[in-house]
Amino acid sequence: MKFPIYKKELRKFIPLSLIFFCISYNHSLMRGIKDMLILMDGEASTLYYLKLFCVTPTLLIFAIIYSSLSTKFERQGRFNIIISYFAIFFSIFFILFSIVRFISIFIKFFFYLDNVGIDNGPFTYTKGSQIQKFDGWDSKYRWAHREISSIYGEDRIIKCTGNVGDLIIGNTNGFHKGSKVAKGERTLLSIYYGVHPTEWRSTFGGKMRKEHYESLPKHKKALADFLVRSEA
């Protein structure tokens, strides 16, 4: 069965095809990241409120606007207005997404397997640093404690102590680190969830010197199984 597209229909077929592509592309992207972006700063119940009080009213408003356009414009005029709206909307979306594409968005989950106090090297996080950035913050990969303290203040550097089994969830777009262990030990399980692949890491899990692996207690060697043991 043939489905011919005549030359006179191209001025409608091409824009409609672009609209379909943009809607499908946008939906496939947002379906995967919308929940994570909301849950980073809210609770699961927020999703239901957004659907009820944002999505539904928006659909109704759009239907009312389209009904109003139907009484003021002919079909060709309505078509041009809708095409222009989606073209502007998706152009803005693509620009914003292109900017966000180069920002590593991922969350880290830390499960403490030991009691971690101030001296056991707790996870530390600079409060608000995931939003408030200073000029040149991305000029180097790591910043010294004194540098972060002088910019944000020591009172905003939070030390997350905890007990065995405690879970810490961190938005690691902010400045964070694991403090040095002064005494005892700190064992934890870390899980990463990312929107984009960690392109700077060619080998997942990194490397570990063979002698360091051999020096581990027997009950801890299993934790290093995913690392690449290196002779050098």
Q: Which domains are present in the chain?
A: 7-100 (no CATH), 106-200 (2.60.120.620)
What's CA 2's distance to the chain center, in Å? 45
pLDDT at residue 199 tops 50 = no
pLDDT tens, residue by residue, 97-147: 666 555 556 678 888 888 999 888 898 998 888 888 888 887 887 888 888
pLDDT at residue 55 tops 60 = yes
pLDDT-derived band at 201, boundaries 50, 70, 90: very low
Distance (Å) of CA 40 to CA 45, 92, 177: 13, 23, 19
Find, among 35, 55, 51, the residue nearest to 43 by Cα: 35
Q: What is the pLDDT of residue 40?
A: 62
pTM for the predicted model, two decimal places:
0.44
Give pairs for 113-118: CB < 8 Å, separation 24+: 113/164, 113/187, 113/188, 113/189, 114/164, 114/184, 114/185, 114/186, 114/187, 114/188, 115/162, 115/163, 115/164, 116/161, 116/162, 116/163, 116/166, 116/186, 116/188, 117/161, 117/184, 118/159, 118/161
The pLDDT of 145-159, averaged and rounded, is 89
The pLDDT of 84-95, averaged and rounded, is 83
Phi/psi for 167 (5° steps) reads -115, 130
CB atoms within 10 A of CB 121: 21
pLDDT tens, residue by residue, 159-187: 889 898 888 888 777 888 888 888 888 88
Q: What is the pLDDT of residue 101?
A: 52
pLDDT-derived band at 202, boundaries 50, 70, 90: very low
- Return mean pLDDT, the chain: 78
pLDDT at residue 46 tops 70 = yes
Q: What is the pLDDT of residue 194?
A: 63
Q: What is the pLDDT of residue 204?
A: 46
Phi/psi for 148 (5° steps) reads -65, -40
In contact, 124 and 179? CB cutoff 8 Å? yes
Higher pLDDT, 198 or 45: 45
Q: List residues bridging with 125 in a β-sheet.
A: 158, 176
Higher pLDDT, 111 or 209: 111
> Which of helix, strand or coil describes residue 116?
strand
Q: Which percentage of the chain shows pLDDT scores above 70?
A: 78
